[in-house]
Chains A and B, each alone.
Chain A
């Protein structure tokens, strides 16, 4: 007699559990879709704001605007600053992410590399390797666990409003995220080529750099591009703290109730992300194919 089994039994239970958790959260928060219907005064503002979406500003809206230059020039400057803040932060994050990612990966601490001839030596080397790896992973988790906005608030208090503190606030959590994902991608790369290089007498460092790293490289590059895109968005948001990125200008226009300018900034950000996506997918294709 054949035992009947439901193939999706376990996965089905988990999916139901996740849905139930979502429903419970809704109920606990007392979420009500009617909250999205604006009250009397709000309705007017909402109408104005969303009405402006179809007519983004091409010139300064405010009558009090005294700055020289055109509005579109300012949008371009805001975008440019947003991108270079993100690029500087990503540059730092990639360097530290690679270094930390190597040390956090299991393949860096291979048995062949940190394994002695005698049992005592082998055990002590393994113990050292595993504790350094664990410490690195803990450190990476620490970097990641604090969001860039919180780092920005901290640095703003500590160093004041300067460019370096903004870049650092972005770079720290990004280095952590890159390190974690890099280390996982390196460990997931096939063991075949590294094994073959080991078999022909290559040192463990070369086994890692020539046999393993190239295999993981396309995935790592694709992920780095995605994080760059995230960094651009974060860099824009950091403007709300007073750094001269897109968010700064967005906030000014919003406070002056120049909704059409707000929409121009938002569309510019959207356009930037799209351009990024096109660029990264082209590069990715060249890497992979």
Chain B
């Protein structure tokens, strides 16, 4: 397939985020080019999910600038912000599907952001035929076309994850973000899934940002690595240049911090 459009360009400068009085991101400077595939690594609590939230425009930066295709997200009103979100597909760690509707409906929900109220409601109650055809096509690419009319909660975890990915693709996005997709399935499936996302992003020309725990997989599939630690960018390099010690460093310091946080108060 030939890519129909160019992927998203993200630009962050001095971006920070405070959630419920806790600082989770600080002074983040990043540029992610259209069509790039980036692995986001770092220990738990390093701010990976929060950073994805900034890229997806689902969280507003407390300070600094976050730009999506040259548009400063801080300046957008509610409506424009929703339009921006509609262009970014996000696969949540827990998939966040509606369990007791059919797979087709969950996939069609991908367009709720791009359509009006009645059209959106229709996708739940009486879907249009061309939408179903498109959803079926997407599920075919994901290898679960036969699940179109199945109830979502009868699927396995791996299949549900693909439905979540299908919903993101149904958005017709310019970027695809995934939060810890590997943590929620078994290792063999995880590798297949990351390979699949890589392939889909390349074919459609999407910018791909995936947060990962698994350095093996990061190294195998992603040309660029961004390491987070304590809410800051600690490492941002093309994969070939990353030295073994740097990986170790990222996690060792992270663990030390985690241990310190868990120490009981005297």
Interface residues of A (CB under 8 A from B): 117, 192-193, 195-203, 205-207, 209-211, 214-215, 217-218, 287-288
Cα of A104 to Cα of B87 in the assembled complex, Å? 33
In the complex, A206→B98 CA distance in Å?
A: 13
A-B contact count (CB 8 A): 86
Taking a contact as CB atoms closer than 8 A, the residue among B83, B110, B124 that contacts A214 in the complex is B124
> Can you list 26 contacts pairing A with B, beta carbon distance less than 8 Å?
A192-B92, A192-B96, A193-B97, A195-B96, A196-B90, A196-B97, A196-B167, A198-B85, A199-B85, A199-B92, A200-B86, A200-B89, A200-B112, A201-B81, A201-B84, A202-B113, A203-B120, A205-B117, A206-B121, A209-B121, A210-B109, A210-B121, A210-B123, A214-B124, A217-B100, A288-B100
B99-A202 in contact (CB<8A) = no
Q: Does any Cβ of A come within 8 Å of B82's Cβ?
A: yes
Q: Which residues of B contact A217 (CB under 8 A)?
A: 100
Given contacts A192-B92, A201-B87, list 7 more A-B pairs with CB under 8 A: A196-B96, A197-B109, A199-B58, A201-B85, A211-B109, A215-B100, A288-B100
Interface set of B (CB-CB < 8 Å, partner A)? 56, 58, 77, 81-90, 92, 94-101, 109-110, 112-114, 117, 120-121, 123-124, 164, 167-168, 171
* Contact assessment for A206 and B117 in the assembled complex, using a CB-CB cutoff below 8 Å: yes
Residues in B neighbouring A202, C-beta threshold 8 A: 82, 109, 112-113, 120
**Distance of B184 from chain A, by nearest CB (Å):** 13
Residues of B within 8 A of A200 (CB): 85-86, 88-90, 109-110, 112-113, 167-168, 171
> Smallest CB–CB gap between B227 and chain A, Å?
24
Bound CA span A211–B56, Å:
19
Q: Are B82 and A203 in contact (CB under 8 A)?
A: yes
Tell me the complex Cα distance, A218–B95, Å: 21
Which listed residue, A201, A203, A211, A288, touches B98 by the CB 8 Å rule? A211
Nearest CB in chain A: distance from B203 CB, A: 21
A197: chain B residues at CB < 8 Å are 109, 112-113
Q: What are the 10 A-B residue pairs with the smallest beta carbon separation, nearest first?
A: A201-B113, A201-B86, A196-B96, A202-B112, A201-B85, A201-B82, A192-B96, A199-B58, A193-B98, A206-B120
- Pick the contact of A198 from B58, B83, B94, B99 — CB < 8 Å? B58
Residues of B within 8 A of A192 (CB): 92, 94-96
SS class, residues of chain A in contact with chain B: helix
Q: What distance in Å separates the Cβ of B79 from its nearest Cβ neighbour in chain A? A: 9
- Distance from A152 Cβ to chain B, minimum over Cβ atoms (Å): 37
Find the residue from B100, B164, B168 having the highest chain A CB count within 10 A: B100
A171: min CB distance to chain B, Å: 26
Docked complex Cα distance between A206 and B115 (Å): 10
Closest A residue to B99 by beta carbon equals: A215
- Residue in A193, A201, A218 whose Cβ sees the most chain B Cβ within 10 Å: A201
**Chain A residue at minimal CB-CB distance from B173:** A200
In the complex, the chain B residue whose C-beta lies closest to that of A189 is B98
Residues of A within 8 A of B94 (CB): 192
Give Cα distance in the complex from A227 to B58, angstroms.
40
B56 close to A215 (CB less than 8 A): no
- Tell whether, in the assembled complex, residue A201 and residue B112 are in contact, meaning their CB atoms are under 8 Å apart: yes
From A203, A215, A287, A288, residue with most partner B Cβ within 10 Å: A203
B100→A214 contact, CB < 8 A: yes
Are A199 and B100 neighbours in the complex by a CB distance under 8 Å? no
Which residues of B lie under 8 Å from residue A211 when comparing CB positions? 98, 109
Smallest Cβ distance from A41 to chain B, in angstroms? 60
Q: How far is the CB of B228 from chain A (nearest CB, A)?
A: 20
- Distance of B185 from chain A, by nearest CB (Å): 17
A210 touches B98 (CB 8 A): yes
Closest chain-B Cβ to A39's Cβ sits at a distance in Å of 58
A196 interface neighbour in B86, B88, B92, B123, Cβ under 8 Å: B92
Query: Nearest-CB distance from A135 to chain B (Å)?
Result: 25
CA distance A187 to B129 in the complex (A): 33
Chain A residues closer than 8 Å to B87, beta-carbon distance = 201
Residues of B within 8 A of A206 (CB): 112, 117, 120-121
Known: A192-B92, A196-B96, A199-B58. A214 touches B109 (CB 8 A): no
Q: What residues on B are CB-neighbors of A218 within 8 Å?
A: 100
Chain A residues with CB under 8 A of B164: 196
CB nearest to A287 among chain B residues: B100
The listed residue with most A CB atoms (<10 A of its CB), out of B58, B81, B123, is B58
Most chain B CB within a 10 A radius of its CB, from A199, A206, A215? A199
Q: A172 vs B210: C-alpha distance in the bound complex, in angstroms?
A: 53
A12→B7 CA distance, assembly (Å): 61
Task: Give min CB distance, A220 to chain B, whole Å.
Answer: 12
Q: In the complex, are the beta carbons of A199 and B124 less than 8 A apart? A: no
Smallest Cβ distance from A194 to chain B, in angstroms?
A: 8
CA distance A203 to B101 in the complex (A): 20
Nearest chain B CB to A91 CB, angstrom units: 20
With the chains together, A68 CA to B171 CA distance in Å? Answer: 68
- Bound Cα distance from A195 to B53, whole angstroms: 12
**Bound: A207/B99 CA distance, A:** 15
Chain A residues within 8 Å of B84, by CB? 201
Q: Which residue of B lies closest to A195 (CB)?
A: B96
